[in-house]
Amino acid sequence: MESDFENNPAKQHPLIKVWNTHPGFLQSETKIYKVPSIDKIIAEIFSVGEYYHYTLHLPDSTLSNHHENVLKMHGITTQPQYLGDIIDLIHPDDMNFVQEAELMTVEMMKEIGFEHQMNLKSSYCFRMRIASGNYEMFHHQAIPTLKSESGQLLEAVNIHTNIQHLTPKNNYYVVVSGIGERDDFRQMQWSQQELSAVDSSGLSKREIEIISLLAKGLTTGDISEKLHISIHTVRTHRKNILDKTRCRNSSELISKAFEQGYL
């Protein structure tokens, strides 16, 4: 049952209205979750470039547990205290998309079921200001980590990875994918004119799963063990993926995966 809980941060930011549009996003079922270890959280992200993470406290949008890279990568001297401080680093021309991406994420999680929220991860890209003063492309991932006894979403870990070396182009994809016990993969593309579901160039859910594991740095043997399939089967999947995406190697594949919104 939805409640009247709303996000009311000390420092206002433009995502508040989005989250408050669907109260169920902030509060749904009452199962109590233990906060996962940072090692488990990091295992769900893609190790394709320099990154940092922080914990977002949803009720007041304050931040904690910052990774030290946030200072170096953005050329700032003090740790961001509020989500609004992070949003201030986003390119102004990308803010409309960021708000729409959050709304698309909330609506997709509602479609899947907010009761599964703790096993869903969202991701999309936008430009952020770096230490030089220029803007470069970052990949954003958000993983819910803590709910209260009443079912209120309290915390999430956000991870930002610089992927400028992989692609400077944003094709405006938004992905909601399963983690842990879930294997969901929902990919959407946004434009100012329309929102559409995306056919991932004929890739199967298994092939997309393998791409995500390659992006995490797993070897063929690692993937074989994790998915409980033979090394030969993994190699066959990799060959088929490279053929379908017209990539020559895994590095080119991962770069294209970001461009085409597989990750």
pLDDT value at residue 42: 63
Residues 52 and 95 grouped into a single domain: yes
Residues 259 and 143 grouped into a single domain: no
For residue 138, the enclosing domain spans 16-198
pLDDT value at residue 216: 78
At 237, is the pLDDT very low, low, confident or very high (cuts 50, 70, 90)?
confident
Is there a domain that residue 10 lies in?
no
Residues 187 and 263 grouped into a single domain: no
pLDDT value at residue 134: 96
Is there a domain that residue 7 lies in?
no
Mean pLDDT for 230-238 is 88
For the whole model, what pTM was predicted? 0.78
Task: Tell me the C-alpha distance between 169 and 155, whole Å.
Answer: 30
Residues 58 and 174 grouped into a single domain: yes
Residues 56 and 158 grouped into a single domain: yes
Is there a domain that residue 5 lies in?
no
Is there a domain that residue 35 lies in?
yes
Residues 209 and 188 grouped into a single domain: no
Residues 170 and 206 grouped into a single domain: no
CATH of residue 259's domain is 1.10.10.10
Residues 223 and 234 grouped into a single domain: yes
Is there a domain that residue 2 lies in?
no
Residues 90 and 152 grouped into a single domain: yes
User: Is the pLDDT score of 24 beyond 70?
Assistant: no
Task: Mark which of 149, 171, 198 sits at the end of a domain.
Answer: 198
The percentage of the chain sitting over the pLDDT mark of 70, rounded to a whole number, equals 81
Cβ 162 vs Cβ 49: under 8 Å: yes
Handedness of CA 81, 29, 98, 124 (dihedral sign): positive
Residues 169 and 238 grouped into a single domain: no
Neighbours of 143 (CB within 10 A): 24
Residue 60: both structure tokens together: 């007041």
Residues 169 and 47 grouped into a single domain: yes
Q: Which residue has the higher pLDDT, 143 or 48?
A: 143
pLDDT value at residue 155: 92
Q: Which residue has the higher pLDDT, 106 or 150?
A: 106
User: Is the pLDDT score of 198 beyond 90?
Assistant: no
User: Is the pLDDT score of 32 beyond 60?
Assistant: no
Cβ 235 vs Cβ 191: under 8 Å: no
Q: Which residue has the higher pLDDT, 178 or 10?
A: 178
End-to-end distance of the chain based on CA atoms, in angstroms? 32
Residues 72-131: tens digit of each pLDDT: 999 999 999 999 999 999 999 999 999 999 999 999 999 999 889 989 999 999 999 999
How many domains, the chain? 2
pLDDT value at residue 5: 45
Task: Mark which of 145, 174, 198 sits at the end of a domain.
Answer: 198
Beta bridge partners of 194: none
Q: Which residue has the higher pLDDT, 84 or 24?
A: 84
At 45, is the pLDDT very low, low, confident or very high (cuts 50, 70, 90)?
low
pLDDT value at residue 256: 83
Q: Which residue has the higher pLDDT, 3 or 156?
A: 156
CATH of residue 77's domain is 3.30.450.20
Residues 228 and 149 grouped into a single domain: no
Nearest Cα neighbor of 144 from 182, 195, 94 is: 182
User: Is the pLDDT score of 35 beyond 80?
Assistant: no
Is there a domain that residue 149 lies in?
yes
User: Is the pLDDT score of 9 beyond 80?
Assistant: no
* Mean pLDDT score of the chain: 83
User: Is the pLDDT score of 204 beyond 50?
Assistant: yes
- Tell me, letter by letter, the H, E, C secondary structure of 127-150: EEECCCCCEEEEEEEEEEEEECCC
Task: Mark which of 182, 198, 214 sits at the end of a domain.
Answer: 198
Mean pLDDT for 133-144 is 94
Is there a domain that residue 1 lies in?
no
